[in-house]
Structure 1
Amino acid sequence: MNPIFILRLAVAIILLTHSIPGMFDNGINNFGNLFLNQIGFSPFGVYIAWTIKLSHVVCAILFILNKYLKWASLVTILILTTGIFLVHLKEGWYVVGDGRNGIEYNFLLICVLVTIMYPNGIRKSKNSQL
């Protein structure tokens, strides 16, 4: 089995489990109303929250189907990076242990997504000049 497939599947599972329950337990609406609207995105917080979670579902499907991987990875990286600055950075590095809700999990996912985008590494073109 291709190791990149395992990473794609793992990220897809994470994105789906991070998104789908919130669609049915009011979690997405709460995130929009109780967090995003409160930090300055009012009155669009709920719409932004739904856009984020729906993009997670679409990107997860693309990872499973092995389609548009760079696009899906980039979208997810942008969301994770925004989450770092809006939510997690003030909590520090650690998700658990010496801290709570920090950036380490997003950092790891971003590294995995870059690996999915460039499974053979990022290579300098022979024609490029420095």
Structure 2
Amino acid sequence: MKQNFYLRSALSVILLMHSVASIFSGDVNDFGRLYLDTIGFKPFGLYLAWAVKLIHLFSVFLIWSDRFVKIVSISNLFIMVLGIYFVHWKNGWYVVGGGSNGIEFNVLLICCFLQLIFTKYPYRNRENRSW
């Protein structure tokens, strides 16, 4: 994990905190039942919410183990784009300051995952590949 060390570290912390905090607080269940179900995902809202949180959680370990980094990045990029569309777009740009719950943080995360996708990884051997 020599390439993009600081970027991967920051993304790992963000994904870890975003997943673990909502899992232990029960917010993931509320998001699934009280939000996703009400915007048309019923009866799958709860399952989608858990899928998102588990993808975030497993992404941390895959990023740190330097495995499937591109697949992890594409998966999280997809989640971030859907998050903008379904949750954050209506709140504008700003997360804090000029507004709240906006898209600015998701845009930054999307750019970070794009950097991981388009980074060329040297392949020393088949076992140490970052797909």
The residue number in structure 2 matching 1:127 is none
The residue type equivalent to 2:106 in the other structure is: N
Could you tell me how far 1:89 is from its partner in structure 2?
0.5
Could you tell me how far 1:65 is from its partner in structure 2?
1.2
The residue number in structure 2 matching 1:84 is 84
The residue number in structure 2 matching 1:26 is 26
The residue type equivalent to 2:22 in the other structure is: G
1:72-125 deviations in Å (ceiling 9; x for gaps): 0000000000000000011011111111111010000000111111225xxxxx
The residue number in structure 1 matching 2:8 is 8
The residue number in structure 2 matching 1:54 is 54
Q: Are residue 98 (structure 1) and residue 98 (structure 2) matched?
A: yes
The number of residues matched between the two structures is: 120
Could you tell me how far 1:64 is from its partner in structure 2?
1.2
The residue type equivalent to 1:22 in the other structure is: S
- The two structures, once aligned, show a CA RMSD in angstroms of 1.4
Gaps of 5+ in 2: 121-131
The residue type equivalent to 2:61 in the other structure is: I
* Whole-angstrom CA distance in 1 between matches of 2:2 and 2:52: 29
Larger gyration radius, structure 1 or structure 2: 1
The residue type equivalent to 1:49 in the other structure is: A
Instruction: Give the TM-score, by structure 2 length.
Output: 0.87
The residue type equivalent to 1:65 in the other structure is: S
Structure 1 consecutive aligned stretches of length 4 or more whose deviation exceeds 4 Å: none
SS at match of 1:72: helix
SS at match of 2:95: coil
Could you tell me how far 1:2 is from its partner in structure 2?
4.4
The residue type equivalent to 1:119 in the other structure is: T
The residue number in structure 1 matching 2:74 is 74
The residue number in structure 2 matching 1:126 is none
* Whole-angstrom CA distance in 2 between matches of 1:82 and 1:39: 13
* Whole-angstrom CA distance in 2 between matches of 1:100 and 1:117: 29
Could you tell me how far 1:3 is from its partner in structure 2?
5.9
1:9-31 deviations in Å (ceiling 9; x for gaps): 11011011001122121111000
What percentage of aligned pairs have identical amino acids?
44
Gaps of 5+ in 1: 121-130
* Whole-angstrom CA distance in 2 between matches of 1:103 and 1:24: 25
